[in-house]
Amino acid sequence: MVQYIVVGGGSAGCVIAARLSEDTQASVVLLEEGPRDTHPFIHLPVGFYKTSQGNLVERYPWEPPAGYIGAPNPTMVQARVLGGGSSVNAMVYLRGQPADYDSWADGGARGWAYKDVLPFFKKCESNDRFSNDAHGTDGPLGVCDQRFTHPLTKLWLQACQQAGLAYNADFNSGVQDGCGLYQINARNGLRSSTSVAYLKPARRRPNLTVRTHCRVLRILVENGRATGVEYLEKNRRHVLRADREVIVSAGAINTPKLLMLSGIGPASHLHDKGVKVIHDLPGVGQNLQDHIEVSLINELRRPLSYDKYKKPHWKIAAGLQYALFRQGPVTSNVVEGGAFWRTSLAENRADAQYCFMAGAGVEDGVGSVPGGNGCTLNVCQTRPRSSGFLQLHSADPMDLPRIEPNYLTDPLDVECMAQATEFGRHIMSQAALAGHIQREHVPAEPLRTGDDYRRFVRRHAHAALHPVGTCKMGTDAMAVVNNDLRVHGIDGLRIADNSIAPSLCSSNTNALAIMIGEKAADHIQRADQSL
């Protein structure tokens, strides 16, 4: 028996396991389904385009809503490796907007307003440029300026300013509007995942055990209390007991799936799937929210982008520069520049995000261009109104869940994306870029009217892979956890990952998961001190 079992070694789980093991009297076991983060591409910033589409992720089909006209057989991917998303993502460090968290608190999640979560953002952070009220310098997580910025990214930032956007030196200052360079999770030219930043220094502690290739099948509940887990390792079932708590950090897809397999969820659905109901909790799997985006792809007149590094001699040159000096293109996350803009539907704050990549065919599902030299602008609505749900396909833990995100079912989401797409094309048409762009590759069709843009969005939108909300925090009838992240109605069980977010933050969501991990660990440690 151990004191704490952490299920899921992702962005939040690594943080929690490391923090809880700081107490030498506390025994902690972390169970991760995927492998260790030993793949070399994980640690090279530019390697994200490889890790985000290989065997380090799980691909989940999702069911399109009525009237869907997009790509056939759509999927979303989630990380399946120690460090989770922080090991395979583009390393962009964004927190969202203060109003995101204030809205959580206004909705009942007391203690989660921006003033409450900011100390935990700062606690995790070791920033190489900022030391002020918004940033920390002593945390485990490397947050830094990019060592290399592609010349095309700089031209794109000029184009943004020509289109009327102000330059923003810090998207995490509390003011998000404008354009600028993203800070990334890296240190000394290497990715700073939560596995590297938190777990690696903690691994020498005798009270922390990290087990990979362990698939948790269900949470054991006895007399209304979580007492342990059943897991699969090397095709053998094992039981591990927890004396104090089981903390589930398996992500917005697998956390609700695990709860339902354990008999915690909507009773009628569990009955239908042959799962014994332990506790009727109707909100499990509901409130699924995710960002949606479209990619604008342009063909360049000459080999000006990162695409040229696909050729062997350029690849060798970049590798030597990195090996000798830890500089150059290998240190780039490719997603270097970004911007935030307000559509006509915005409520006094930015509701559209732009991510520029000096390359085409970099992301999974986003194609290259004829000749192989292009650039990509991803356009994203940051606070969609559409939401979906997740259910079990069966009582078999090996089955993938049924996912219905209901993307773009709210007409306002379509309109917002249409306006954001039109402005994205406006940016790309500015003088700073005009001499370098041969033609638009996507969209291939002329877009002149609002209906044209809305049709384009419906056809080309794809998941941004930022799911949240499926075990939301709060006090209403659909809430799954309270404000201390304890599961309603089950003692000894907490959830700590992006599934607890009542709503999306207005940006990428990895920093959100890390903050949740820090705050969850603090809640647990304070509870222990009160015993």
CA distance 240 to 236: 13
For residues 327-360, b (16+ Cβ closer than 10 Å) or e, as one string? ebbbbbbbbbbbbbbbbebbeebbbbbbbbbbbb
CA distance 250 to 258: 8
User: Residue 325: CB partners within 8 Å, gap ≥ 6?
Assistant: none
Helix (H, G, I), strand (E, B) or coil at 90: coil
User: Residue 396: CB partners within 8 Å, gap ≥ 6?
Assistant: none
Joined together, the tokens standing for residue 144 give 């830094």
Phi, psi torsion values for 459, nearest 5 degrees: -80, -35
The answer to whether residue 460 is catalytic is no
Pick from 385, 350, 343, 335: nearest CA to 174: 350
Pick from 30, 108, 490: nearest CA to 284: 490
Q: Residue type at 271?
A: H
User: Residue 473: CB partners within 8 Å, gap ≥ 6?
Assistant: 104, 109, 112, 479, 480, 481, 482, 483, 485, 500, 501, 502
Helix (H, G, I), strand (E, B) or coil at 18: helix
Q: Which helix (H) or strand (E) element contains residue 220?
A: strand 214-222
Contact between 473 and 482 under an 8 Å Cβ cutoff? The reply is yes
Instruction: Choose the catalytic residue: 271, 393, 466, 488.
Output: 466
Q: Which helix (H) or strand (E) element contains residue 5?
A: strand 2-7
Bridge partner residues of 226 (DSSP): 221
On the 0-12 / 13-18 / 19+ scale of CB atoms within 10 A, 34 is buried
Active-site residue list: 466
